[in-house]
Amino acid sequence: MKYDHLFSFIVSLFVILFLNSGCNHSGLSGLVVCKGKVMLDAVPLEGATVTLIPNIENVTKENQQRNAFSITDSAGRFTMTTLKENDGVYPGDYWLIVTKYDPSGEFIKTGEIDLETGEDILFEKSVNRLPAIYENYRESQLRVTVPDSGIRDIVLELTTR
């Protein structure tokens, strides 16, 4: 009987070790801090989405770069997320996209009916409140190189003109 408990303990130990070793390969190792601030016409921009896209011209097998994103706070600050909230990014070269989508006040029919009310289900369109150039990394030319030590002071100076 005591061998059954020992066997269960050993099996449980191996399962835990196996799962933990799998976590080491989850893509989290190698991430570094990436923080900054978005300014629009010299004013901090709240509620903007900052997206980092790996510069495919510089991605290698050794380089694990992935897309990352963040949403700016009331002071325009952001901390990038790759896999888990605020976990950072992989070092490397990135293109940036900055958008700020808000409800437009315009609704469209989805073609579906709410079964409870019998009314058309409506979807509110959203609109990007920033100039379209910042939504296209090739046009905006926004770039950042994140070193192995991370980066804490990116300042994105956007203009409405």
Q: Give tens-digit pLDDT for 116-136.
A: 999 999 989 999 999 999 999
pLDDT at 161: 83
Instruction: Look at residue 124 in the predicted model and tell me its pLDDT.
Output: 92
pLDDT at 18 (0 to 100): 40
Pairing between strand 92-99 and 143-146? antiparallel
Distance from C-alpha of 70 to C-alpha of 55, rounded to nearest angstrom: 18
pLDDT of residue 17 exceeding 50, the answer is: no
Q: Where exactly are the structural domains of the chain?
A: 1-30, 31-158
Rounded mean pLDDT of 28-48?
94
User: Which has the minimum average pLDDT: 25-39, 61-75, 108-122, 132-146?
Assistant: 25-39
Per-residue pLDDT for 63 more than 90?
no
pLDDT interval class at 154 (50, 70, 90): very high
pLDDT over threshold 50, residue 61? yes
Specify the amino acid at residue 157.
E
Average pLDDT of the chain?
A: 83
pLDDT band (50, 70, 90) for residue 15: very low
pLDDT tens digits, 86-101 = 999 999 999 999 999 9
pLDDT of residue 59: 59
pTM: 0.73
Domain 31-158 class, CATH top level = mainly beta
Return d(Cα 66, Cα 52) in angstroms, integer: 8
